[in-house]
Amino acid sequence: IEPQNTHHRVVIVGAGISGYSAAARLIENELDDILVLEAEDRIGGRIHSVPINGGIIDMGAQWLHGQGGNIIYEMIGANFSFGDSSFENTTYHFWQSDGTSENQAQIGQLVELSQGIMSAVYSQEPSYLGTFGSFFVANYWRELRSTIYNAIPWSLALKVQNFFHVSTNNYFGTNSWFDISIEVYSTHGSTTGSQWVTWRNEGFHTVFEFLSRRRPDPTQYLDVESKILTNKEVTNVDWSGGVITLQCGDNTQYTADHVIFTASLGVLKDRHRTLFSPVLPADKVSAIENSEYGTLEKIFLEFAQPINDSIDFAQYSILWTQNDINMLLGTPREWLTEMAYFRRVDAFPNLLGTFFVGSRIPDFNEFNVSRIIDDCHWLLQRITGQVLSRPINAYRSEWITKRNFMGAYSLFTMNSAHHGANPSELAKPVYDSNGRPRIFFAGEHTSSNFSGYTHGAVETGFQAARDVLEHLEQSSGVQIMSKYPMILITILSSFLFKF
């Protein structure tokens, strides 16, 4: 063990957006004696902006979902020129997977109905105990009995339903919408305004410049960076003693009075038993083990030229035909059937973006760029019925295989609901035998309002900082109070000595 062993009042594990926000808030409140330990060689976590030709793209978080009620937009909106790729409001065209055309007006009717049902999910009473899937299917087919849908063939209604199923899986990183319990999401907070606010070609990592206040006014800069050590994987947090000892993979140790732990739910699920000594309390363990973690990967296809105007849509949505699904099942192209669309990327005319659900790909490690390009190119040509130039490159994320992430984001299933596993359980601090909070938890998975999202992660980072500050204030109060008996004894004993 190197003689590093510095002691800090607070050590934050993880320099993703929640850990970074917590650090900024502590520094702002003049709690300077802090350290952030980050396992990767970079700051940002699941915000990972990478430079390409023409700007910066995001392999993780890309959009601000909402404006009003989104803490990030509310902090920054007035000082940054955001873009918007509101797919709901712009043209997005539905192509059948086999290239044959379908009645776009009827599809439009079905999409409108489906979108209405999807947004109702979020305003359900928490008493609805079913899943996204059960809610959608029941409402969809009930509404379809209305005479306004009489002319629509049920085969088309099925294909649109399948589109919403696949899109939902693409959104949550799930295999089935019958896995996702509505309970947690119906109690989520809500945001107003565009759900697809973009950072144009500057990348989501710009957010850190605002969190540290380097922007808009550099004189307000809070020096968060100097508190962060990268390449520091914390392998154990020993909270058995009076101080907490954090052991790192490079054989260094740090000690702290308090820890804010922000590593992802994927990391916690993978190794919470070895990460903490003693192991976490049973309630916390149950919340970790019964919450789920979605696996979602991104693909950006880069073309040599801006994408052909004759097929100029914001989104190329795919209605899979049963024949095409049958044709691809069991073949190396099976993964394509989990794809719902190709989207244009705001500020990058040469790019199309899409998602795929990683866990469904058995040979994920061999899933290389040229295979991705070939398969996507095949599908794009098939759905559009056009000869398109082959993409010159593809960028893909690999969150599922990365040790410090282990997937995409938290998710609450019927199994989670059964076991009472939810963000507020994941957020609870752990206390020592004297009732003193030792480890605070933050990160997107701990946000009751917006689990899964960057704005949820920021809120939890701020909350953890507030909790630490409050606790320190209270405990210094206790220390002051605990001095009184000593003063009394001194006064009394001086009397005693006098007489």
Ligand X SMILES: Cc1cc2nc3c(=O)[nH]c(=O)nc-3n(C[C@H](O)[C@H](O)[C@H](O)COP(=O)(O)OP(=O)(O)OC[C@H]3O[C@@H](n4cnc5c(N)ncnc54)[C@H](O)[C@@H]3O)c2cc1C
Binding-site positions for substrate? 355
Binding mask 116-135 for ligand X (x = CB under 6 A): --------------------
Q: How far is the CB of 256 from ligand X (least distance, A)?
A: 13
Residue 18 binding ligand X, by CB under 6 A: yes
Residue 246 binding ligand X, by CB under 6 A: no
Instruction: State the greatest distance between any 2 C-alpha atoms of the chain, in Å, as a whole number.
Output: 107
Helical packing angle, 17-28 and 454-498, nearest 10°:
40
Instruction: Name 155's Cβ contacts closer than 8 Å, sequence gap at least 6.
Output: none
Distance, in Å, from the CA atom of 290 to the CA atom of 282, rounded to the nearest integer, reads: 12
Part of the chain binding ligand X (CB under 6 A), chosen from 56-64, 131-139, 218-226, 376-384:
56-64
Among positions 262, 337, 422, 448, the unique one binding ligand X when judged by CB under 6 A: 262
Residue 233 binding ligand X, by CB under 6 A: yes
Q: How far is the CB of 196 from ligand X (least distance, A)?
A: 9
Part of the chain binding ligand X (CB under 6 A), chosen from 45-53, 285-293, 433-441, 470-478:
45-53
Distance, in Å, from the CA atom of 54 to the CA atom of 168, rounded to the nearest integer, reads: 31
Residue 62 binding ligand X, by CB under 6 A: yes
Distance, in Å, from the CA atom of 38 to the CA atom of 47, rounded to the nearest integer, reads: 14
Among positions 23, 34, 37, 299, the unique one binding ligand X when judged by CB under 6 A: 37
Instruction: State how beta strands 55-58 and 49-52 pair.
Output: antiparallel
Residue 397 binding ligand X, by CB under 6 A: yes
Residue 259 binding ligand X, by CB under 6 A: no
Q: How far is the CB of 426 from ligand X (least distance, A)?
A: 11
Residue 405 binding ligand X, by CB under 6 A: yes
Among positions 234, 244, 301, 439, the unique one binding ligand X when judged by CB under 6 A: 234
Q: How far is the CB of 298 from ligand X (least distance, A)?
A: 5
Q: How far is the CB of 265 from ligand X (least distance, A)?
A: 9
Instruction: Tell me the binding residues.
Output: 18, 38-39, 234, 355
Angle at 43 between CA 37 and CA 47, to 5 degrees: 125
Characterize 420-452 residue by residue with b for buried, 16 or more Cβ atoms within 10 angstroms of its Cβ, and e for exposed.
Answer: ebbbebbbebbeeeeeebbbbbbbbbbbbbbbb
Residue 39 binding ligand X, by CB under 6 A: yes
Residue 228 binding ligand X, by CB under 6 A: no
Among positions 61, 111, 121, 166, the unique one binding ligand X when judged by CB under 6 A: 61
Among positions 66, 130, 203, 443, the unique one binding ligand X when judged by CB under 6 A: 443
Q: How far is the CB of 300 from ligand X (least distance, A)?
A: 11
Among positions 60, 133, 353, 391, the unique one binding ligand X when judged by CB under 6 A: 60
Among positions 10, 47, 207, 376, the unique one binding ligand X when judged by CB under 6 A: 47
Looking at the Cβ atoms of 152 and 411, the one nearer to ligand X is 411
Part of the chain binding ligand X (CB under 6 A), chosen from 32-40, 73-81, 104-112, 251-259:
32-40
Residue 16 binding ligand X, by CB under 6 A: yes
Residue 247 binding ligand X, by CB under 6 A: no
Q: How far is the CB of 231 from ligand X (least distance, A)?
A: 9
Residue 264 binding ligand X, by CB under 6 A: yes
Q: How far is the CB of 294 from ligand X (least distance, A)?
A: 8
Residue 46 binding ligand X, by CB under 6 A: yes
Looking at the Cβ atoms of 140 and 254, the one nearer to ligand X is 254
Looking at the Cβ atoms of 278 and 485, the one nearer to ligand X is 278
Q: How far is the CB of 34 from ligand X (least distance, A)?
A: 15
Among positions 11, 12, 19, 438, the unique one binding ligand X when judged by CB under 6 A: 19
Residues that bind ligand X (CB under 6 A): 13-19, 37-40, 45-47, 60-63, 65, 233-234, 262-264, 267, 296, 298, 397, 399, 404-405, 408-409, 443-444, 452-454, 457
